Amino acid sequence: MHPPSKPLRWAPLTEPLRGLAPPDQPHEKIPGAMTYVIAEPCITTKDTACVEVCPVDCIHPTKDEDEFEGAEMIYINPDECIDCGACAPECPVEAIFDEGDLPEKWAAFTKKNADYFAG
């Protein structure tokens, strides 16, 4: 590998990354930030690797919750998701999508995730 012809210069970040609050602030969803959605491939799979990496604990039910056994899948709370993206690469069945990248055939899962947490 050859060294760069010009020295690299780093600039500080002036905006939060992908919906995250700056590090000196609590993790809260930035208004207007998109959320992640768990879709059809999770049905009956319910792998919880995504739960383990979520920094805001917005994926439920977890294995420790009574609802886990009866749930057909796990869900992301859209009001708590900070759009960090940590969950998506952990899913072994590729069921987690950024809301903007959710395949049209699974569009109903945006509402399905939200409905799980409503009431």
Whether residue 41 is contained in a domain is answered as yes
Predicted pLDDT of residue 117: 95
Rounded-to-integer distance, Cα 46 and Cα 44, Å? 6
The CATH number of residue 93's host domain is 3.30.70.20
Whether residue 92 is contained in a domain is answered as yes
Strand segments (E) across the chain: 36-38, 59-60, 75-76, 96-98
Whether residue 91 is contained in a domain is answered as yes
Whether residue 111 is contained in a domain is answered as yes
Whether residue 50 is contained in a domain is answered as yes
Predicted pLDDT of residue 88: 97
Predicted pLDDT of residue 33: 57
Rounded-to-integer distance, Cα 100 and Cα 33, Å? 11
Query: What range does the domain containing 82 cover?
Result: 36-117
Predicted pLDDT of residue 39: 98
Total structural domains within the chain: 1
Whether residue 103 is contained in a domain is answered as yes
Whether residue 79 is contained in a domain is answered as yes
Predicted pLDDT of residue 24: 52
Whether residue 10 is contained in a domain is answered as no
Rounded-to-integer distance, Cα 7 and Cα 94, Å? 39
| Tens place of pLDDT per residue across the chain (119 aa) | 444 444 444 445 444 444 444 545 555 555 555 699 999 999 999 999 999 999 999 999 999 999 999 999 999 999 999 999 999 999 999 999 999 999 999 999 999 999 999 96
